[in-house]
Amino acid sequence: MSPAPGWRGICVTSAMDAPPPTTPPEWLRHSRFDDAQAIFSGTLFVAIAMMLFGQAGLLTGGTAGVAFLLHYATGVSFGKLFFLVNLPFYWFAWRHMGRAFTIKTFSAIALLSLMTDWAPRYLSIDSLHPAFAAVLGGLLLGTGCLFLARHRASLGGATVLTLYLQEKRGWPAGKVQIGIDCTVVLLALFVIPPQRVGWSVLAAVVMGLFLWINHKPGRYAAT
């Protein structure tokens, strides 16, 4: 199947430090402006990564991967599907991750949904090798999701589950994320050529390794 016009791929997942054992001093706490700029910046990084994936016809993991495959099957825009697929996870996030985390996550998902529908009108790439898209896109995704995670936000779905398992069970978020993403991407073998799936797995591994190395409990104390 050839890549559909518009958004054809996204890998939206992340990790979060476990909460510090004691309340940090006032000067370490994030202000609302701090959170707002981090959510915007992180989401923008992810949107650029999606541009690369879309241009190269790559795939993704997590709920974004589900939304992506539905986009292929139905022709409905990725932004709309991504927003809808994440709706069931808000209850889980509210119950296990808290009100502030859920509100920030909802804001990030809504913003990304808008960006993925509008950005192709303002940015295009004439030539892009899938290997370059996989590596650079994976790093951009990891960076953007790290911005969000350090301000207690995510891009929903599998990310919420990943953060919960790291905080409550101590499972390394990067390893869990690699497993989830690669599983979803491999399911795409039923609908797209294996070569594109292979490059997509590379992107998922690059992002997961980036988070595994750079996102460890206790490394970042602000809230």
pLDDT in tens, 77-108: 888 888 998 888 888 778 777 788 888 888 88
Give the residue carrying structure tokens 């808290």: 98
- Residue 127 is classified by DSSP as -
Tokens of 87: 């709706």
How high is the pLDDT of residue 133? 93
- For residue 180, count other CB atoms closer than 10 A to its CB: 22
- For residue 219, count other CB atoms closer than 10 A to its CB: 9
- Residue 2 is classified by DSSP as P
Give the residues of the chain that fall short of pLDDT 70: 1-30, 153, 156, 215-223
**Would you say 209 and 174 are in contact if contact means Cβ atoms under 8 Å apart?**
yes
59 burial (CB, 10 Å; 0-12 / 13-18 / 19+) is buried
Residue among 123, 122, 36, 116 at smallest CA distance from 80: 116
How high is the pLDDT of residue 67? 82
3-state helix, strand, coil in the chain (%, to 5): 70, 0, 30
The residue type of 212 is W
Residue among 179, 147, 170 at smallest CA distance from 49: 147
Tokens of 189: 């073998």
How high is the pLDDT of residue 121? 81
Report CA-CA distances (Å) from 91 to 49, 103, 196.
Answer: 28, 11, 34
